[in-house]
Structure 1
Amino acid sequence: MTAPALFSLGNALVDQEFLVDDEFLGHAELNKGTMQLCDAAQQAKLVEYLAEAEHKGQASGGSAANTTVAFSALGGTSFYACRVGNDDLASFYLKDLASVGVQTDEKSKSAGQTGTCIVLITPDGERTMYTHLGITAELSADQIHFDALKSAEWLYIEGYLATSPSAIEAVKLSRDIAKKHQVKMAISLSDPAMVQYAKAGLDALIDDGVDVLFCNEQEALMFTSTSHLDDAVQALLERAETVAITLGSKGALIASREQETFTVQGQAVQAVDTNGAGDAFAGGFLSALVKGQSLQEAATLGNLVASKVVSQFGPRLSLEQYQALL
Structure 2
Amino acid sequence: MTDIRLDVLAIGNAIVDVIAAADEAFLEAEGLAKGSMRLIDAAEATRLYDHMTQGRETSGGSAANTVAGVAALGGRAGFIGQVASDQLGEIFRHDITGLGVEFATRASDGGVPTARCLILVTPDAQRTMNTFLGASQHLHAAAIDAGQIEAAAILYLEGYLWDPEEPRWAMIKAIDIARAAGRKVAFTLSDSFCIARHRDGFNQLIDGGKVDILFANEDEITALAGQPDFDRAVATVQGKVETLVVTRSEKGAIAVRDGERVAVAAEPVARVVDTTGAGDLFAAGFLAGQAQGRDLGDSLRMGAIAAAEIISHYGARPETDLKALIAERLG
TM > 0.5 = yes
Contact 1:264 1:296 in 2 (8 A): yes
Q: C-alpha displacement at 1:307, in angstroms?
A: 0.2
Number of residue pairs matched?
321
Match of 2:43 in 1: 41
Residue equivalent to 1:263:
263
Which stretch has the larger CA shift, 277-286 or 26-35? 26-35
Tell me, yes or no, if structure 1 residue 18 matches structure 2 residue 40.
no
Larger displacement relative to structure 2 (19-28 or 114-123): 19-28
Aligned residues with identical type, % of pairs: 34
Deviation by residue 1:115-145 (Cα, 9 ceiling, x = unmatched): 0001122333222321111111111112222
Residue equivalent to 1:315: 316
Q: Deviations over 1:179-231 (max 9, x none)?
A: 11001011111122222334345446646241111111122222222221101
1:107 — aligned with what?
A: 106
Q: Distance in 2 between matches of 1:102 and 1:61?
A: 12
- Within 1, Cα distance between the matches of 2:201 and 2:107? 23
**Partner Cα separation in structure 2 for residue 244 and residue 2 of structure 1:** 24
Which amino acid counterpart does residue 75 of structure 2 have in structure 1? G
CA 1:69–1:30: 2 relative to 1, 3 Å:
same
Unpaired runs of 5+ residues, structure 1, are: none
* Alpha-carbon distance between aligned partners in 2 of 1:226 and 1:124, rounded to the nearest angstrom: 31
Aligned letter for 1:42? E
Q: CA deviation at 1:4?
A: 1.2
Q: Which deviates more from structure 2 when the two are superposed, residues 195-204 or residues 165-174?
A: 195-204
> What SS class does the counterpart of residue 321 from structure 2 fall into?
helix
Change (3 A) 1:185 1:22: farther
Long gaps (5+) in structure 2: 327-331
- Work out whether residues 168 and 201 of structure 1, in 8 Å CA contact, stay in contact via their aligned partners in 2: no
SS of aligned partner of 2:130: strand
Counterparts of 1:179 and 1:108, CA distance in 2 = 27
Alignment of 1:119-130 (within 5 A): 119-130=119-130
Q: Deviations over 1:79-119 (max 9, x none)?
A: 11110000111111111111121111153544431100011
1:69 corresponds in structure 2 to 68
| Superposed CA RMSD | 2.2
Q: TM-score, normalised by structure 1?
A: 0.90
Residues 206 and 116 of structure 1: CA distance in aligned 2, closer, same or farther (over 3 Å): farther
Partner of 1:94: 93
In structure 2, what is the Cα distance between the partners aligned to 1:297 and 1:177?
Answer: 30
Deviation at 1:76, TM superposition (A): 1.2
Distance in 1, matches of 2:192 and 2:36, equals 6
Residue pairs, 1:1-326, within 5 angstroms: 3-21=5-23, 25=27, 28=30, 30=32, 32-48=34-50, 51=51, 54-111=53-110, 112-203=112-203, 206=206, 208-209=208-209, 210-259=211-260, 261-269=261-269, 270-318=271-319, 321-326=321-326
The separation in 2 between residues aligned to 1:123 and 1:218, in whole angstroms, is: 25
CA shift digits 1:243-270 (9 cap, x unpaired): 11111122212222331x2320111111
